Structure 1
């Protein structure tokens, strides 16, 4: 029986209109190297500072700590501007799915390659908050844990964020956990964590691309999780 669902944020539960892709590519290109959509996609779901360093190196640049930090700050600046101009929204059916799952006693966690400051700003825009925190409107989505890449030693595909979500939610058995995401790094992290790995088609990747990775299920979206567990 699944007791905890750990979902990725951008592209899985939240529609941020692909702005994270644009911000990531632009902050890297502003260091003087080129990127490709394929290279950026490869690092979706990963810790953004790690992604920036890898993309700079791949483009032939030198990813010194100072350059990476400056690019990471620029990434957050760009993303904040994009979100101000075009606010993110919950993906279709996600909030209803979360409410249904919580009514069944299933705990809900979010894991993300965003840093804590970016994630909290994004959640505040949506009115989602931690259960018992008192933040957000009374009718907003309540979460049992939110784990960011800067909360752990390494981001995806390492399993640490999922295991940290289990710790925070009080779930000890990986057989009782399902992790859902829209990228190959999401699926790799779920497999590495030993939990049920679910790919969703609400991001940039299609069924064939996700299915090429080890997984347990491919769904149209998080909205289908209640039926999967029904």
Structure 2
């Protein structure tokens, strides 16, 4: 039986109406770097500083620390502005699925390519509380502020294990809607799951090493008895 389910936020548990994609693309293109759709898809789910750095370079712009920092500030401005106009909402059935997992004694953590200053206000806007008590929504949240590198590095998943006291990585399921989510799950050594609630197709996700492709997090409780082979 799994002991911990680790879920991405935007596109996996939260419907942000695709705003993070558009805000990232707009912030990078304001630097003069065109953003190809395939490149944007490759870098979605990664920490946003790394994504901006890569996308600027791919678009032929010099990605100096100062320019990247300015583009990141602009990304956050655009995100806050657009989230205020069109607030994110929980994807259908996700809250119930999370509650089902926790009722069965399975801890649930959220990870994200956002830093603390973006992630925690987003959760507050949803009314989602974090903690081990019965009144909370999830047991832990890990952002890029907590680790030295974001996805596809496995560090956020491992940090979620630390926060929830889970020590056997084979009993950890990690699910997300982007390529780097699937890669991080594989790199972490647990059960890697792609979900189809984001922008990518089944074929897009299946092209990368994974254990399952699901329509969404709502199906994860059905995998509760799963454990990655030794």
Q: TM-score range by the shorter chain?
A: over 0.9
- How far off its partner does 1:150 sit? 2.3
2:212 corresponds to 1:217: yes
Q: When the two structures are superposed, what TM-score results if normalisation uses the length of structure 1?
A: 0.95
**4+ aligned runs moved over 4 Å, structure 1:** none
2:189 corresponds to 1:194: yes
| Runs of at least 5 residues in structure 1 that lack an aligned partner in the other structure | none
- 1:211–1:112 distance in 2 versus 1, CA, 3 Å: same
Task: Identify which of 153, 161, 170 aligns with 1:158.
Answer: 153
Contact 2:24-2:52 within 8 A present in 1 as well = yes
Q: Describe the SS at the equivalent of 1:171.
A: coil
Q: Which residue of 2 aligns with 1:40?
A: 40
For the residues of structure 2 that align with 1:132 and 1:92, how far apart are their CA atoms? Answer: 23
Q: Which residue of 2 aligns with 1:205?
A: 200
Q: Describe the SS at the equivalent of 1:108.
A: strand
Q: Which residue of 2 aligns with 1:83?
A: 83
Q: When the two structures are superposed, what TM-score results if normalisation uses the length of structure 2?
A: 0.95
For the residues of structure 1 that align with 2:124 and 2:199, how far apart are their CA atoms? Answer: 25
2:168 corresponds to 1:173: yes
Q: Which residue of 1 aligns with 2:101?
A: 101
2:207 corresponds to 1:184: no
- How far off its partner does 1:151 sit? 1.2
Q: Report Cα offsets for 1:70-101 as digits up to 9, x if no partner.
A: 10011000000110010000001100001111
- How far off its partner does 1:214 sit? 0.5
Q: Describe the SS at the equivalent of 1:179.
A: strand
- How far off its partner does 1:33 sit? 1.4
Q: Report Cα offsets for 1:86-145 as digits up to 9, x if no partner.
A: 000000110000111110000000010001110001100101121158xxxx96x52111
2:26 corresponds to 1:26: yes
User: Pairwise CA RMSD of aligned residues?
Assistant: 1.3
Contact 2:95-2:137 within 8 A present in 1 as well = no
